[in-house]
Amino acid sequence: MKKVKFSIIIFLLFSSIGVTASANNEDITEKVSDSVTQSTYGLEHSKNVTVKNDAEVSQEKINNFIIQAKKVVREEKANSQSLNASIESSTYETVDYCYLDDTNLFFYEDSSIKDPELIILPVENGREETHVIKPQAIQGGFGGRVLVNSTTGNYIETRAITTSSNSTLLATNGTPYMYTGFTARGLEVDAGLAYSKGDAPGVWQPYLKIGGDDPLSTSYLLDGYNQVQYKNGYITGQPVQMDLWRNYTSGVEHNAVRLKLAGTAICADLGCSRHGDTKLTTIFSKSNIGVNSVVNYKLLATIAGSGASGQMNSTLSEISIDGIAKTPVKDEVANTQVTISGNSTSFKLSK
């Protein structure tokens, strides 16, 4: 069985979508659809779920996760009505749910163009204990960081948007990031978006790192796994809502660090089999972290990597903790102009 190295850096870089259930998984798919989608949810949820179970988890665990995933999808589709008009008018709608327990990665996609898919992969948990490092200058690149001084808040939310022009990003040497996160005792969490040039014009993809100081342009989760590729991403110049929980519990998620992104993507599914503006909600959840308090929350815009250079304009607006608007304070700045106005921060990076 192929093991997937999990180095505490979750960067959705899946590699080709050919996800068709093998002969060994056909029975599982049929049983799951009978016991979960039809009996539990009725006709409106009677679509079959294509299951690729490389971790060889039990049918009971698969059933339990699909129940959770369908609940999440149903809730997120209802919540998506609160997003802005440009997202609501999208042609398609997709929800991606990525969940990590101590041993396995579960990736579930509900797309408006095809039946739901579930991919389960084994992971090797390579987590090493990380000590709190006092905030220093931006490492491995340049950018700006602001802090929100809250020790008890459970979640931070903000809305991210970059300049509508891709030209400055395409000229960059390094990887642009826009993200939030927090510092806790023994732990650093960065969560948000990383820019992927890929095919023009490039997209913003989900990014979550648990442990360490600053993002790395070589971050990955699925080392060497070449059966699933994440080509989709959020459109530059369009807003992306970012919500991060330090300690989330619901269903199969227990004491989890949880990231939720919502915005307009370029494709309707994981492998971009159909292009078109898509209302995309992406959820990453890593259970059994158990962060009870934080030193502070943070928001950053950076370009990271060896010899990082380039330009990027971005804004992180509508910043709040537990639904209460918060005004951040400037922390570290390198080759960046940072402007704070109420609960909004703009960054102009140039090097």
Please report which confidence band the pLDDT of residue 164 belongs to, taking 50, 70 and 90 as the band edges. Answer: low
What pLDDT score was predicted for residue 6?
39
Note the pLDDT of residue 343.
96
Q: What is the pLDDT of residue 144?
A: 95
CB atoms within 10 A of CB 342: 12
Domains and CATH numbers, the chain: 4-125 (no CATH), 141-245+289-350 (2.60.120.1270)
Q: Is the torsion defined by CA of 326, 327, 331, 336 positive or negative?
A: positive
Q: Looking at residue 143, what is its pLDDT?
A: 93
Report whether pLDDT(225) > 50: no
pLDDT at 172: 74
Residues 258-268 have a mean pLDDT of 91
Give burial (CB, 10 Å; 0-12/13-18/19+) of 173.
middle
- 13-28 b/e (C-beta count within 10 Å ≥ 16 → b): bbeebebebeeebeeb
Assess contact for 313 and 162: CB atoms under 8 A: yes
Q: Is the pLDDT of residue 179 over 90?
A: yes
pLDDT of residue 36: 38
Alpha carbon distance 165, 311 (integer Å): 11
More confident residue, 80 or 326: 326
H or E element at residue 167: helix 167-170
pLDDT of residue 134: 34
**CA dihedral of 127, 132, 134, 137, whole degrees rounded to 10:** 10
Q: Is the pLDDT of residue 255 over 70?
A: yes
The segment with the largest mean pLDDT, out of 27-36, 153-162, 281-290, is: 153-162
Whole-number percent of the chain with pLDDT over 90: 34
> 83: closest CA among 257, 255, 247, 280?
280
The sign of the dihedral angle between the CA atoms of 76, 78, 84, 90 is positive
Q: Which range among 120-134, 212-226, 320-334 shows the weakest confidence by mean pLDDT?
A: 212-226
Decide if pLDDT at 44 tops 50. no
- Answer with the residue of higher pLDDT: 327 or 24: 327
- pLDDT, tens digit, 9 for 90 and up, residues 98-124: 888 878 888 899 998 889 999 888 875
Check residue 317 and give its pLDDT.
96
pLDDT in tens, 132-156: 233 345 667 899 999 998 888 999 9
Q: What is the mean pLDDT of residues 257-282?
A: 89
Distance CA 16, CA 2 (A): 17
Per the CB < 8 A criterion, the answer to whether 244 and 189 are in contact is yes
Q: At residue 14, does pLDDT exceed 80?
A: no
pLDDT, mean over the chain:
75
| pLDDT-wise least confident of 125-129, 133-137, 265-269 | 125-129
Higher per-residue pLDDT: 105 or 172? 105
Structure confidence at residue 253 (pLDDT): 87
Q: What is the pLDDT of residue 32?
A: 40
Q: What are phi and psi of 109, to 5 degrees?
A: -125, 125
Angle at 254 between CA 53 and CA 208, to 5 degrees: 70
User: Positive or negative CA dihedral for 231, 237, 239, 244?
Assistant: positive
Residue 93: predicted pLDDT:
87
- 100-109, 165-174, 341-350, range with the lowest pLDDT: 165-174
Cβ burial, residue 167 (10 Å; 0-12/13-18/19+): exposed
The values of phi and psi at residue 80, to 5°, are -65, -15
- Put simply, whether the predicted model's pTM sits higher than 0.85 gets the answer no
Give the per-residue pLDDT at 101: 80
Q: What is the pLDDT of residue 275?
A: 87
Residue 341's pLDDT is: 97
